[in-house]
Amino acid sequence: MRLLTRLFQRFLVFGLGVFTVWLIVFVVFDTADHRLPWLLAVSLTYCLAAYVILPNVVRMSLKVLHRSLIPRYTITGDGLPGDPVNLVLIGTLRQLCDAFATADWSTADRLGMASSWRMMRAFILNSAYPTAPFSTLYLFGRRQDIGFQESIDNSPRKRHHIRFWALSLDHSEDDMSAMSFWLNRDEPSADQRVLWVGAGTRDIGLSLTWLTFQVTHATDSDTNAERDHIVGELRAKRVIGEVTLHQCGSRLQTGRVNHYVTDGEIVFASLIDK
């Protein structure tokens, strides 16, 4: 029975793929090609396919397959695995911002039409944009709360960066093996001492996302090296306390914190005031 169910699911996904190709080629492109110059027709087809049609098809396919993406890594807007969680800091929002400011990192702008346009322009011209916005990733059922970055060679195409999600110390006592824990959308107040769960990676250039072919940054696959770089800079500025490294599924004994689950090792430290 399970084999038949799985075959049926795969057949549905295959059918969805065939329908998607037909929709893009014989409906979207064919319609645009009859009304617009060829170059504009191709451009419009790409935009609709990469940013509207394919993301929704991917989400539908994942629902058909009942894919349970319980974190340890972040989730893209398409429902696919994103950056891995590799750093956890404890402190207030002010302490977090002060720590990265002391390390000469910039706070990322909020993603919007204006910041996206500025980022696109900076990317094409390779002009500096030290507070460039981040694409949206999800953890605990919501987008990142804040992000920080450090430019490499003053280029918008290369940067060290990390996204953070605030997690109340009250919720950290819940059952982390339950899906309801990871779908928790509660945002702690700005003055509350919380867990800042971070996913840090290094951008190294331009790339296209697989399946949806959206334009995005290419990232270095060695996220451990990026984690160590971030921690090294914070330690050098003495804005974090003792650093400990925890294996996946281990328990973090820090007052009310029981444990944090990740698919790899995470660095854990408390923020301190300068």
Question: Is residue 171 domain-shared with residue 260, that is, in the same domain?
Answer: yes
The reported pLDDT for the residue numbered 172 is 53
User: How far, in Å, CA of 242 to CA of 180, rounded?
Assistant: 31
- Domain boundary at 43, 65, 87, which? 65
The reported pLDDT for the residue numbered 78 is 66
Question: Is residue 102 domain-shared with residue 131, that is, in the same domain?
Answer: yes
The reported pLDDT for the residue numbered 269 is 83
Question: Is residue 218 domain-shared with residue 245, that is, in the same domain?
Answer: yes
Closest by Cα among 62, 80, 83, 64 to 72: 83
Question: Is residue 149 domain-shared with residue 223, that is, in the same domain?
Answer: yes
The reported pLDDT for the residue numbered 135 is 84
Domain range spanning residue 15?
2-65
Question: Is residue 87 domain-shared with residue 58, that is, in the same domain?
Answer: no
The reported pLDDT for the residue numbered 230 is 93
Cα angle: 173, vertex 94, 267; to 5 degrees: 50
User: How far, in Å, CA of 36 to CA of 34, rounded?
Assistant: 6
195 near 172, Cβ under 8 Å?
Answer: yes
Question: Is residue 257 domain-shared with residue 206, that is, in the same domain?
Answer: yes
Question: Is residue 114 domain-shared with residue 37, that is, in the same domain?
Answer: no
Question: Is residue 7 domain-shared with residue 50, that is, in the same domain?
Answer: yes
Beta strands in 209-240 (DSSP E): 215-219
CA 255 vs CA 150, 194, 270: distances in Å: 32, 12, 12
Average pLDDT for consecutive 10-residue bins of the chain (274 residues)?
72 79 83 85 81 70 50 69 84 93 93 84 83 85 89 85 86 52 65 86 74 66 86 91 62 33 63 77
Question: Is residue 176 domain-shared with residue 266, that is, in the same domain?
Answer: yes
The CA dihedral of 170, 171, 176, 180, to the nearest 10 degrees, is: 150
Question: Is residue 160 domain-shared with residue 143, that is, in the same domain?
Answer: yes
Count of domains observed in the chain: 2
Question: Is residue 55 domain-shared with residue 145, that is, in the same domain?
Answer: no
Question: Is residue 110 domain-shared with residue 167, that is, in the same domain?
Answer: yes
The three-class DSSP label of residue 148 is strand
CA 210 vs CA 50, 207, 216, 258, 272: distances in Å: 10, 9, 10, 36, 40
204 near 160, Cβ under 8 Å?
Answer: no
